[in-house]
Amino acid sequence: MHYFFITGSSKGLGKALTELLLSDKNNFVYGISRTNTIYHQQFQHLKLDLADLDAVKQFQFSELKDATAITLINNAGIVGDIKHLGNLDAKKIISTYNINLVAPTLLINQFFNTYNNKIQKLVVNISSGAGRSPIDGWSVYCASKAGLDMLSLVFKTELEHNNINTNIISLAPGIIDTSMQDEIRKADKTNFSNIERFIEYKNNGDLSNPKETAKQVYAFIFNQKLHHKTICSVRDLA
Ligand SMILES: NC(=O)c1ccc[n+]([C@@H]2O[C@H](COP(=O)([O-])OP(=O)(O)OC[C@H]3O[C@@H](n4cnc5c(N)ncnc54)[C@H](OP(=O)(O)O)[C@@H]3O)[C@@H](O)[C@H]2O)c1
């Protein structure tokens, strides 16, 4: 059995990817989120608030005796407060970093502590183009995704020193028609100069459907040739 742990399985990209994985009876998916929307015999929901670091620290990965491969997908993420620095809410700064960067770091650490065996393992961090070029109003989101990219690069160098059969990628999924984009379009123009561009993406039909993006992420998971480049994008498939 190929086991998957996917954060943010309840909606958007994470839900579409979970549903795609469940179409193969050789896959079993543990979905990690605050709410559950998926009911399937090869699926188990694990309720966890990734902003609650004490709960994340206590999260335990299951013992998987019949595993042939284990994949962790850090997909959950929030855009956070869309405001310029100076106007940000302190609590939202902290919760955005916790969900987007601190929780994935804790989960990766726990994942490799638990599965310190020779089974084939992959970590897919869902990053963003926003972690690779700055967008005003998105400082914490951009910084957290840049942090996820660097975390992935460092881990890759560590794996090269002491582990085989394991890989990590940090994958930018493109712009997807999910509730995150709804939230972005509701931002205040004075705190986000690019808002018109994001409204146009929606109006022009430029946003990708989550099911289409899930197919692209799926291609990255199952094609090992795509794992050699740690910092990657679904655009690399073109
Ligand atoms: N949409 C885009 O255009 C776009 C572009 C680039 C990158 N991305 C990245 O793609 C990933 C998925 O985004 P999306 O657009 O699919 O977002 P989405 O539709 O808003 O879904 C976010 C998911 O994250 C979970 N989540 C949020 N806060 C959580 C918390 N405190 N604890 C546990 N789970 C939490 C949500 O589950 P619950 O609410 O049930 O907890 C939900 O399943 C994110 O990492 C995002 O940064 C998205």
CATH number at residue 11: 3.40.50.720
Q: Is 152 exposed, middle or buried (0-12, 13-18, 19+ CB in 10 A)?
A: buried
Q: Is residue 181 situated within a structural domain?
A: no
Out of 32, 34, 201, mutate this one to test ligand 1's pocket (max ligand atoms within 8 Å of CB): namely 34
Active-site annotation, residues: 141
Q: Which domain holds residue 100?
A: 2-174+209-237
Which residues are 201's β-sheet partners?
Answer: none
| In the block, residue with structure tokens 């998105």 | 138
- The pTM of this model reads 0.98
Q: How many domains does the chain have?
A: 1
Task: Report residues whose beta carbon is within 6 angstroms of any ligand 1 atom.
Answer: 7-14, 33-35, 48-51, 75-78, 99, 126, 128, 173, 175-176, 178-181
Note the pLDDT tens digit of each residue in 87-117: 999 999 999 999 999 999 999 999 999 998 8
Q: What stretch of H or E contains 161?
A: helix 139-162
- Give the C-alpha separation, 63 to 137, whole Å: 42
Q: Is residue 87 situated within a structural domain?
A: yes
Q: Is 47 exposed, middle or buried (0-12, 13-18, 19+ CB in 10 A)?
A: exposed
Q: Is residue 179 situated within a structural domain?
A: no
Q: Is residue 195 situated within a structural domain?
A: no
**Averaged pLDDT for residues 150-170:** 92
Q: Is the pLDDT of residue 163 over 70?
A: no
**Averaged pLDDT for residues 209-231:** 97
Q: Is residue 110 situated within a structural domain?
A: yes
Q: Is residue 111 situated within a structural domain?
A: yes
Note the pLDDT tens digit of each residue in 16-72: 999 999 999 999 999 999 999 999 999 999 999 999 999 999 999 999 999 999 999
Q: Is residue 190 situated within a structural domain?
A: no
With cut-offs at 50, 70 and 90, classify the pLDDT of residue 154: very high
Q: Is residue 12 situated within a structural domain?
A: yes
